């Protein structure tokens, strides 16, 4: 049996309801079959091909022209985009994928559909590849049939069909396609699986694709159950937004079984569009960060975020914050925080670490501001203040502990000075002699991070 365009008919309601249908078109066998079949099923005026020139092969421009000629022959419009692929440490395959999907996301409008030509053999390779990388049920669920992308959605209608059926369709319809020479390079893991491993599996288990696909579907079901359980657990640990990042209460979190703690940690990061921590990171969190001494200020970082513990909460911080504090920019930030800033207290003030000071005027509240404005400094050590309404002064170190300001923010909190006297500390408190009376109008400060 070979593939036929009529086999895509179950997707017709979704295709016709879409704002517009795009096809990711490389010019290879799979995407050419998909484009040709959709043009027969929907009509060439209903689809647009998107060709991404990765500029990684000497034949890239020839492939571009081939795709244009094929689209012209089908009467299908084509959008062509060139991208620059930069290896950021995860390999050129992943870098090319990110560049490609970035373009797709830019093109898709509200309700649009992007059809991609992944097939059953791609599913097998993906599951095997992820299995060998030690992934969990989410990864072993393989390639999803559909998922959101930007304002639109991805649909992969060829997933049930093996490549041999697509090849038979291409031969029957006298299609011409290009062969990417990099597909023969077995130094790439996926190519090695395709050329060296899968043929051996096929000899022993001819129905290997159906077996793997079935296991992937079971993993997808298990992953959905894990997501549902994690959502329930997240509601039970009292998540709250912090000045930067988010926190959960440690006591109910520690009451969960260890497997549920691990499941919740991965889900929590994903809910805030952060990369999920891997197995080793989760083990470090559970067995090193959580049992650490209260005064140890424990920290676990991974590519995309970090977890810290303070008092009775576990804090999840985003990557942009962690890179400033712990990464290569920390020395640069330290120098910026040594700088004194002048603020007119009339408009918002952007601070060197990405936070912002803003203000509102209120009767009987806040800070008395002189007409000449104020200066902004950061901690250098030894500062003291008497918060309004208190009987005596104390060091900022003691006051920060009392007010519960997280240790990782204490050197970044803006100190407001009036003529070399400390007048306020961020939006935490106003020093006594600079607070307004009930009859005066004061300035109420807000200190927040913008992302």
Domain at 271, CATH number: 1.20.59.20
197 and 66 in a common domain:
yes
Name which of 57, 345, 349, 16 is nearest 179 in CA terms: 57
Are both 317 and 249 inside the same structural domain?
A: yes
Whether residue 223 is contained in a domain is answered as no
Q: How many CB atoms lie within 10 A of CB 237?
A: 22
Q: Kindly state whether residues 31 and 136 are assigned to the same domain.
A: yes
Q: Count up the domains in the chain and report the number.
A: 3
Residues 187 and 291 in one domain: no
Do 349 and 260 reside in the same domain of the chain? no
Percentage of residues in the chain having pLDDT higher than 70: 95
Q: What are 14-58's pLDDT values in tens digits? A: 999 999 999 999 999 999 999 999 999 999 889 999 999 888 788
- Are both 287 and 427 inside the same structural domain? no
The answer on pLDDT for 326 being more than 60 is no
* pLDDT tens-digit readout, 329-383: 444 455 556 778 999 888 899 998 888 999 999 999 999 987 777 999 999 888 9
Give the domain extent around 299. 237-324
**Residue 343: strand pairing partners:** 374
What's the sign of the alpha-carbon dihedral 214, 216, 220, 222? positive
156 and 253 assigned to the same domain: no
Residue 377 lies in a domain: yes
Residue 38 lies in a domain: yes
Q: What percent of the chain has pLDDT over 90?
A: 71
346 and 426 housed in the same domain:
yes
Q: Are residues 422 and 304 in the same domain?
A: no
Domain assignment present for residue 160? The answer is yes
The b-or-e profile of 334-346 (16+ CB within 10 A means b, else e) is eeebeeebebebe
User: Last residue of a domain, which of 324, 358, 379?
Assistant: 324
CATH number of the domain at 129, please.
3.40.50.620
Output the pLDDT for position 1: 57
Sign of the four-CA dihedral 254, 256, 262, 264? negative
Pair 288, 183 in one domain: no
229 domain-assigned: no
Is 222 domain-assigned? no
Query: Looking at residue 376, what is its pLDDT?
Result: 94
Mention every residue, 6+ apart, whose C-beta is less than 8 A from residue 448: 243, 355, 356, 358
Regarding whether 53 and 188 lie in a shared domain, the answer is yes
Where a domain ends, among 205, 222, 255? 205
Count other C-beta atoms under 10 Å from residue 45's C-beta.
10
Residues 192 and 138 in one domain: yes
Mean pLDDT (the chain) is 90
- Which of 42-56, 83-97, 110-124 shows the highest mean pLDDT? 110-124
Average pLDDT over residues 259-273: 95
Domain assignment present for 110: yes
Tell me, yes or no, whether 211 lies in a domain. Answer: no
Choose the final residue of a domain: 302, 324, 346: 324
Helical packing angle, 163-172 and 29-42, nearest 10°: 60
Q: What is the pLDDT of residue 142?
A: 94
Asked if residues 245 and 317 have their Cβ atoms less than 8 Å apart, the reply is yes
Q: Residue 259 pLDDT more than 80?
A: yes
């Amino acid at each position: 049996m070979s593939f036929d365009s009529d086999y895509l008919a179950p997707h017709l309601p979704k295709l016709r309801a879409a704002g517009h249908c795009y096809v990711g078109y490389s010019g290879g066998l799979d995407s050419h079959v998909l484009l040709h079949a959709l043009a027969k099923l929907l009509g060439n005026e209903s689809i647009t091909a998107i060709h991404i020139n990765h500029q990684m092969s000497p034949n890239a421009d020839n492939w571009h022209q081939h795709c244009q000629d094929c689209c012209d022959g089908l009467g299908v419009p084509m959008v062509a985009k060139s991208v620059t692929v930069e290896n950021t440490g995860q390999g050129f395959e992943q870098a090319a994928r990110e560049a490609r999907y970035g373009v797709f996301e830019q093109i898709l409008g509200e309700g649009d559909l992007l059809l991609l030509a992944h097939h059953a053999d791609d599913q097998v390779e993906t599951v095997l590849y992820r299995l060998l990388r030690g992934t969990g049920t989410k990864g072993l669920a393989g390639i999803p049939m559909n998922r959101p992308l930007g304002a639109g959605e991805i649909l992969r209608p060829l997933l049930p069909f093996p490549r041999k059926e697509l090849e038979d369709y291409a031969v029957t319809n006298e299609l011409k396609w290009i062969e990417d020479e990099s597909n023969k390079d077995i130094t790439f893991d996926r190519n090695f699986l395709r050329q060296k491993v899968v043929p051996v599996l096929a000899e022993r288990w001819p129905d290997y694709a159906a077996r793997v696909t079935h296991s992937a579907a079971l993993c997808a079901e298990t992953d959905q159950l894990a997501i549902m359980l994690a959502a329930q657990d997240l509601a039970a640990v009292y998540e709250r937004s912090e000045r930067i990042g988010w926190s959960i209460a440690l006591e109910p979190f520690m009451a969960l079984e260890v497997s549920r703690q691990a499941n919740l940690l991965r889900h929590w990061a994903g809910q805030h569009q952060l990369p999920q921590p891997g197995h080793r990171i989760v083990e470090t969190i559970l067995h090193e960060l959580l049992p650490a001494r209260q005064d140890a200020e424990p920290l676990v970082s991974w590519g995309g975020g970090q977890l810290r513990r303070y008092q009775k909460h576990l804090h999840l911080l985003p990557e942009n914050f962690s890179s400033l504090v712990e990464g290569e920019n920390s020395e640069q930030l330290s120098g910026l925080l040594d700088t004194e800033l002048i603020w007119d207290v009339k408009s918002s003030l952007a601070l060197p670490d990405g936070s912002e000071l803003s203000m509102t005027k209120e009767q009987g509240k806040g800070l008395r501001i002189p007409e000449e404005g104020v200066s902004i400094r950061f901690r250098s050590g030894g500062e003291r203040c008497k918060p309004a309404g208190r009987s005596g002064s104390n060091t900022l170190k003691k006051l920060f502990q009392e007010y519960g300001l997280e240790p990782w923010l204490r050197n970044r909190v803006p100190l407001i000075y009036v003529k070399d006297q400390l007048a306020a500390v961020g939006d935490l408190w106003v020093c006594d002699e600079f607070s307004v009376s009930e009859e005066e109008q004061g300035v109420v400060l807000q200190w927040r991070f913008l992302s």
